[in-house]
A and B are shown apart, each in its own frame.
Chain A
Amino acid sequence: MAKPTASPVRTGIVHLALIIYTLIALFPVFLTVINSFKDRASIFRDPLGLPTPSTFSLIGYQTVLGQGDFVLYFQNSFIVTGVSIFFVLLFGAMAAFALSEYRFRGNTLMGLYLALGIMIPIRLGTVAILQGMVAAGLVNTLTALILVYTAQGLPLAVFILTEFMQTVSDDLKNAGRIDGLSEYSIFFRLVLPLVRPAMATVAVFTMIPIWNDLWFPLILAPSDATKTVTLGSQVFIGQFVTNWNAVLAALTLAIVPVLVLYLIFSRQLIRGITSGAVK
């Protein structure tokens, strides 16, 4: 049944507005990517033109891959992000299970204590974090970043996973108990597989700020061997600021992994947000 309000003119205006904003959102990315494949002269002569056979050039990419240690930076980012997410999910799910499954004294208080970190940014503790990392000899190691990001990701993970674990049926867990499963097996073999969708949502939410963070790599791990790709491209672009080919190529290289991951996970991410996981 067509709604009486859905007149073609109105629908047209809605689409027009959405298309205009979509263009605003995508244009800068598009502009960067097309110009990274052009030679220097045509970047300036015709910034909006697509690369043609006569203007096509990979000189920017050659500079980036020849001069910067981008492979290493990517590797660092992957290690830091991957290991942090692993610990956030494991520790977060364990704590969420304890909070949602068992009644014990201080349960609510513990939940509130762990939720504090959702609103208060970990960045404000930087002065003492650096001091602690210096004392522990962890400055300029990936371990320092992994520790910080794990702590940063835990509050939201515990919060979201607790809500989801409350929906896992008690009958199932009790059936497991009758079959003689230990509490640990119940968690790992019964509950974890059931909350996998929630874990994926948490993983995506946790991953984005870690991958994109500039502050902690800059302060805790700025050495060449431990630079993440975000910090690495920041420094690289700073040095090559007049080499537009190299800058545009470096930007494109930094966009690609995010873009690929987004296209894979966008359904998960958007469903996660719209199902109210972050409320």
Chain B
Amino acid sequence: MSTVEQSFVSQGEDKRRRRWHILVFLLPALLVYTAVMILPLVETLRLSLFNVRDNQSVFVGLDNFQVLFGDPRWAASFWNALRNNFVFFVIHMLVQNPIGVALAALLSVPKLRFGAFYRTAMFLPTLLSFVIVGFIWKLILSPIWGVSPFLLDLVGLKSLFSPWLGKPGSALIAVSLISVWQYVGIPMMLIYAAMLNIPDEVLEAAECDGVTGWSQFWKIKLPLILPSIGIISILTFVGNFNAFDLVYTVQGALAGPDGATDILGTLLYRTFFGFQLQIGDKSMGATIATVMFLIILSGVCLYLFAIQRRMRRYQF
């Protein structure tokens, strides 16, 4: 009886007795997470304030950032990568997320047959590795193989074909669209889930009032899935400013042609690790990582404090 009382009532009293369990349960996760993730992150931020002078690591304040933003050797490639990264992000927001929402809206049509098949098939590219996706598209878009000119020919647009991945003007758009192809499944699924959660009564009420089809989507469903659109936007933002793999597999570490597809991830890789004639530079690598960290952090904060708070959550 006394044990029952204890566990039911006096949580304060046996806190002391239980303390060790809590520690044992928490410790492994805390240790690994802190040692391998948090400390290196902090150390990287710290390293960005140091540089090597006369073979010694000295504190240089914000000098590294000044070099990155202003020194002619660094600034051009940094601003280029940052601009490309923004274009990369904007294309995802304008193409990937609307397609995802549209597919989700189609999938949530009531009594749709083969719905599970469509979902499974359309989500498949998301699971493939960048290596597979990158090379498949490289082959398909290759002028040597002739698959894409042939397909364009079928719809009478063969004259439009050009080696998109090889031209500085179109390479970034082509790579972004490949990435969109791969990741459209994520917004699709999250929005689909949000649409399933809209109660039938709301939709039936709308139908009674004569709000159907398109206007039902714009006036009823879209406002209700806005929180999910907020979530996919921030996921896209974090993913895009952290991207590296796809550009690396499609265009190589130099992110050609002529740096046209260079984004912050590939710049970080080349700077930190070195590539061909360039020697790896730990301090500048840490500096670029810090800039990426600050960009992602400000995006996440903006989302958490400005966007998510203003969005009304509908509870049914």
Contacts and interface: CB of A to CB of B under 8 A. Distances in A.
B75 interface: no
B15 interface: yes
Interface in A156-182: 158, 174, 177-178
A95 B30 contact: yes
Contacts of B273: 219
B296 interface: yes
A83 interface: no
A29 interface: yes
A90 B110 CA distance: 40
A65 interface: no
Interface string B202-214: 0000010000110
A103 B11 contact: yes
A214 B131 contact: yes
Given A22-B118, A22-B122, A48-B150, A117 B109 contact: no
B50 to A, nearest CB: 11
Most chain A beta-carbon neighbours within 10 Å: one of B128, B269, B282, B290: B128
A26 B36 contact: no
A147 B130 CA distance: 22
B29 A114 contact: yes
Interface on chain B toward A: helix, strand, loop, or mixed SS? helix
A274 B192 contact: yes
Interface residues of B, number: 100
Interface in B1-54: 3-4, 7-8, 11, 15, 18-19, 21-22, 24-26, 28-30, 32-33, 35-44, 47
A14 B214 CA distance: 13
Given A152-B37, A154-B33, A94 B26 contact: yes
A177 B128 contact: no
Contacts of A273: 189-190, 193
B4 A174 contact: yes
Contact of B296 (A92, A110, A121, A212): A121
Interface stretch (B58-66, B132-140, B165-173): B132-140
Interface of B: 3-4, 7-8, 11, 15, 18-19, 21-22, 24-26, 28-30, 32-33, 35-44, 47, 99, 102-103, 106-107, 109-114, 116-125, 127-133, 135-137, 139-140, 145-147, 150, 181, 189-190, 192-193, 196-197, 207, 212-213, 228, 231, 234, 238, 242, 244-245, 248-249, 265, 268-269, 272-273, 282, 285-286, 289-290, 292-293, 296-297, 300
13 contacts: A18-B114, A95-B25, A97-B25, A102-B18, A117-B37, A119-B238, A123-B242, A124-B290, A126-B44, A154-B32, A248-B139, A266-B123, A275-B193
Given A48-B147, A98-B25, A254-B132, 19 more contacts: A5-B207, A25-B121, A47-B146, A104-B22, A119-B234, A120-B300, A121-B238, A122-B41, A132-B43, A150-B36, A184-B21, A212-B130, A215-B269, A233-B131, A237-B131, A237-B135, A244-B145, A273-B193, A279-B193
